[in-house]
Amino acid sequence: MSESRRNTKWTQGKTCFEHPPLEDFIGMADGFFPIPATIDPKVGKEVVLYLRDQTSFMEEICRVRPFQLMLNTGVARNNFGPLAFLLFWIPNHDNPAKPFAAYDVYLNPHSKTQMETWRQLANQTHWHLFLIGEGGKQREFFEFENTFDLGDALDFMIEASGPVQMIDFNRAKQMFMVENSMEKLLGMEPATPDNCKPPQTIEPASEAESPFSSPRYVAIFQESIARHERSPEVSEVEYLKQKHAELSALLAGKKLIYLDTCHWVNLRHVMLQSEKRQPPYDQILGQLEKLRSKDQICCPVSQALFEELMKQSDTKSRTATANLMDYMSGGVCVQNWIDLVRLEWRQFIAETLLEVKGSGSSLNAFTKAGFWAGEHIVPVPHCGELVGRKLYIDMRWAMTFQDYQAIPGFTKTPDSLTDAFVAEATERKLQAEKHGLNFSYLVGKNRIALVNSMKNDFFPILEKMCPPTREIADMNISALMRQLVDNPTPWNMPSFQIVAGAGAAIAAKGRRTRPNDALDMVHAAVAIPYCDAFFCDNPMANLFREKPLEYQKAYETTILSQPTEIAAYLDSIS
């Protein structure tokens, strides 16, 4: 249902007019709201209005004469989505400059249930208002001829909000209420096509220094400590496994769709109704929202995406993108590439040397937004070592991308790795041109280079999983390298293979390596093996789909770049 939350009270009214009580409404919240009801059996079910106030102010309202009901309507937009509002107010005839009372009601213009309730009321010839006081008893009843023009206002609300997708209705409402006083709403003209300008984006209200100081995190903190103090037998490792199992169950059956940065930016342009928005993306955003609302898809974020988000210097744009990511991903994040390669290495050892069979899907390839930089666990002080570590997991698991981007003092990852990648890739390109090196040779060299770069991670893991003698150690390494470097399948550490293959393909084609190529490869490495669809830019889509890579065949993943193709794909899975 729609939500009503504020009442503003001014001077008192005068005479009293009594009506018999109707019935108890125990449990109903105070406020102004519509309810389907039957007053006259000949008329049938109608929508009636209830004004409930269990304080003594209800008696003052009952004394207002003549009693009139007025309505202001409006529509706005902020970083959490569009918002429609109805402002019901009662004139004060002793002081016309200030209404006697006013009540605001908020609607999600994309909610058919909410809008249909008010649409039914708009179509009635008469409106009925019950005043409900202390104990849920009727204190007064009024009937009004319908001259409120609510139908036209609803039409405009839907039309104005159509291209703007709802990210979080409750947060949109909260932000609007903070930024707009009741007096300001009363001064607005009714929302009609003639007098209503396009809604302006409302800047976020000033936030606390850290999101962890919010009531939400205080509640999580208290509940988590109490729960973990009751279960000292569960280690932090076991607890994190439980969280992963819950996440895997949540993602089961959903289509996992990974969008690289360019598509997130285009969707944000639509959400903010920017001049840079491109027409196909309003359809795409609508399709994604529809699928997400039906719980059919999840669009996970990644470390690479989050770091690119944090490069946005405009706070409004960054916040809007983070909110969009939170909604479409549900806070789900792919493990960062280094951790994912470590997980793949463990599984590769288990399958190759220990004969423990599995598949890529058995990995904990996904985590939550708070662990975008890796699942590093440190204890929260003053809670006890074990409780503090499990509390830390809970706090990070609850974080959103919006929370993380709002933390003061965020430090961006240095670009040294990207710079090194470009330098090495440029050298390989020159060698390929000089010596006529083919893709097969180059990809083998890339695999060896990647193993050498991660040997300080790989070899301690191997020694722990397969404690060796010197002779067995050499045999183990040889067996692993044969299947990882010399003749691998696509699923022998897939994210490792994708990075090695993409770099080799670029060099073999003689194309100049760009700084963004490193990020594009990381996007592909974490997305293609673990998601059902990967939306990237056109050059990379062609690289991944064409020979010699043909990753869409190797991993059975849909790889698309053109907006029309993306829209058609989303239609096909809806």
SS3 assignment for 453-466: HCHHHHHHHHHHHC
Whether 338 and 482 have beta carbons less than 8 Å apart is answered as: no
Q: Model confidence over 344-402: pLDDT tens digits?
A: 999 999 999 988 765 444 578 999 999 998 898 888 887 889 999 999 999 999 999 98
Q: Is the peptide bond before 199 cis (omega within 30 degrees of 0)?
A: no
For the chain, which ranges sit under pLDDT 50? 1-2, 4-6, 9-28, 189-208, 359-361, 414-418
Question: Rounded distance, CA 510 to CA 423, Å?
Answer: 15
Give the closest residue to 101 by CA, choosing from 124, 131, 79, 137: 131
Question: Rounded distance, CA 328 to CA 284, Å?
Answer: 12
Under DSSP, the state recorded for 544 is: H
CA torsion angle 133 135 141 144 (round to 10): 60
Question: Rounded distance, CA 247 to CA 334, Å?
Answer: 12
C-alpha gyration radius of the chain:
30
Question: Rounded distance, CA 78 to CA 91, Å?
Answer: 30
pLDDT the model gives residue 370: 93
Give me the amino acid identity at 334: V
Question: Rounded distance, CA 557 to CA 573, Å?
Answer: 14
Question: Rounded distance, CA 552 to CA 530, Å?
Answer: 12
Give the closest residue to 256 by CA, choosing from 36, 515, 535: 535
Q: In this structure, what token pair is assigned to residue 379?
A: 């204890």
Whether 329 and 395 have beta carbons less than 8 Å apart is answered as: no
pLDDT the model gives residue 27: 43
> With the C-alpha atoms ordered 102, 103, 104, 105, is the resulting torsion angle positive or negative?
negative
**Going by DSSP bridges, is the β-strand pair 558-560/533-535 parallel, antiparallel, or unpaired?**
parallel
Whether 312 and 259 have beta carbons less than 8 Å apart is answered as: no
Q: What is the DSSP string of 311-378?
A: T---HHHHHHHHHHHHHHHTTEEEPPHHHHHHHHHHHHHHHHTS-----GGGS--EEEGGGTT-----
pLDDT the model gives residue 257: 98
Question: Rounded distance, CA 202 to CA 175, Å?
Answer: 8
Q: For residue 298, what is the enclosing H or E element?
A: strand 297-298
pLDDT the model gives residue 57: 92
Nearby residues of 546 by Cβ (< 8 Å), 6 or more positions away: none
How many CB atoms are closer than 10 A to CB 117? 19
CA torsion angle 94 98 100 101 (round to 10): 180
pTM for this prediction: 0.69
Give the closest residue to 80 by CA, choosing from 262, 420, 321, 375: 321
Give me the amino acid identity at 360: G
Phi-psi region of 81 (alpha: psi -120 to 50; beta: other; left: phi over 0): left
Q: In this structure, what token pair is assigned to residue 137?
A: 């008893």
Under DSSP, the state recorded for 27 is: T
Residues in the chain: 574
Q: In this structure, what token pair is assigned to residue 181?
A: 């006083």
Whether 115 and 109 have beta carbons less than 8 Å apart is answered as: yes
Q: In this structure, what token pair is assigned to residue 55?
A: 């304080």
Question: Rounded distance, CA 542 to CA 551, Å?
Answer: 10
- State the angle between helix axes of 455-465 and 470-481 in degrees (0 to 180), rounded to the nearest 10: 120
Whether 422 and 515 have beta carbons less than 8 Å apart is answered as: yes
pLDDT the model gives residue 228: 95
Greatest Cα pair distance, the chain, in angstroms, is: 101
Question: Rounded distance, CA 402 to CA 112, Å?
Answer: 27
Whether 390 and 234 have beta carbons less than 8 Å apart is answered as: yes
Distances (CA, A) of 245 to 65, 135, 303, 364, 366: 63, 47, 21, 9, 10
Whether 93 and 66 have beta carbons less than 8 Å apart is answered as: yes
pLDDT the model gives residue 420: 55
